[in-house]
Structure 1
Amino acid sequence: MTASTVTPLAVGQVAPDFSLRDQNGVEVSLSALTADKNVVVVFYPFAFSGICTGELDEIRDHLERFVSDDLQVVCISTDPMFSLRAWADIQGYFFPLLSDHWPHGEVTRAFGVLNPATGAPVRGTFLLDRDRVVRWTLVNGPGEQRDFSELPAQVAALS
C-alpha cells in the first residue's frame, strides 16, 4: 500500500453520513449517533483475522474507553452481516460491528480507507464530534496493528 492508494479523511473534515446494518441486522446511522454522542469509527480489514481480533478484543476489554455517556464506538468492515454476527457471538463483541458489504465498500471508500488491492479497509480510526467533524485520526496499513493509547486524551480534549 502506498500513500497514493488511500486518502483518508483529515482532521477538520466533515465525515459523510451513512446508514449500515450491524451484526444483528439493525440499521445504524452516523447522524443518529452523533445527535447524542461523539463517535469513534474503527475500520478494520477482516473479521476472524488475527490482528483485527486483537484490536477488537482491546475495545471489548477496555470498553469504558470507547463507550460512555458522551462517546460511542462503531467498527466497520466490508464483511457480510452474518459473518460479523458469528464473529461477535464467538468473541463477545457487544458493540456495533457494521457491514459495509453492499454496495461494497461505499462507506469505507467515502472515508478514504478502502484498499483497492484487497477490497477491504485499511486500519482507519476516526474520532468524530457531534457535528461529524474529524477531530483525530489514526491510519495503519495492512499488517500494522493500531495503537489506541492516544484516544482517551483526544476524547478528553473534546470536552
Structure 2
Amino acid sequence: MTKPDSVAVGPLPVGSVAPEFELRDQNNRRVTLSTLREKGDVLIVFFPLAFTGTCEGELGYIRDNLPKFDDTTLTTVAVSVGPPPTHKVWSSAQGYLFPILSDFWPHGGVASEYGVLDTDRGYANRGTFLVARDGTVRFSDMVGPGEARTVDTWDEALSLRS
C-alpha cells in the first residue's frame, strides 16, 4: 500500500468563497474573518512556524512595508499552527504589529480548509490569499516546503484589491 501524498493538494481557487474562521491572535484576542472583512479586503498569509528564517524574512517584509499591507481598506493577518503565547514572544521580538493568528486547535483546521496544510509535517505550507470584502478569494497561491514567497507574489496579490 502506498502512502498518500501528505502535502496539501492545492490552495482554494480564485472565485471560491473563503471559509470563515475564528482564531486567537498573539494577544489571545478572538479574530474572525467576517469582522476583518467589515473593513475591506483581507490578505491571509499562512506560514509554517515561528522562529524560522524564511518565515521571519517573509513576515519581516510585511513589517517593513506595513503601509502597503494595512490601511483603511486592507488588513493583513498571518496564520500558523503555533499557539498564541509563542506568537506573542516572536511578534514582540520581531516587531510585527499585524495579527499573528493561531491555527492551533483543531490543529491546522483553517489551513486544511484553505488547502495548504501539510498533514505529515503538521503545519501549513506558505499559502497566500486575498479575500475580498464580499468573501470571495481574489488571489490564491501556495509554495511548498523550503520555498519562499517572492516580492512578485506580494505585488500580484495586492494589485487585485477591490
Structure 1 length normalisation: TM-score? 0.93
- Using the aligned pairs only, state the percent identity: 45
Alignment equivalent of 2:77, drawn from 63, 70, 74:
74
Shift of 1:73: 0.2
SS of corresponding position for 1:59: helix
Q: Does 1:93 align with 2:99?
A: no
1:119 aligned partner = 122
1:43 aligned partner = 46
Measured in 1, the distance between the counterparts of 2:157 and 2:57 equals 22
Flag the 1:150–1:101 CA change in 2: closer, same or farther, 3 A.
Answer: closer
Asked if structure 1 preserves the Cα contact closer than 8 Å seen for 2:26 and 2:88, the reply is yes
Measured in 1, the distance between the counterparts of 2:61 and 2:53 equals 13
Deviation per residue, 1:27-47 (Å, 9 max, x gap): 000000112210000000000
The root-mean-square deviation of aligned C-alpha atoms, in Å, is 1.8
Asked if structure 1 preserves the Cα contact closer than 8 Å seen for 2:7 and 2:120, the reply is no
Measured in 2, the distance between the counterparts of 1:154 and 1:89 equals 26
List runs of 5+ in structure 2 lacking aligned partners.
Answer: none
List runs of 5+ in structure 1 lacking aligned partners.
Answer: none
Q: Does 1:26 align with 2:29?
A: yes
SS of corresponding position for 2:39: coil
Structure 2 length normalisation: TM-score? 0.92
Moved over 6 A (4+): none
Alignment equivalent of 1:140, drawn from 138, 143, 147:
143
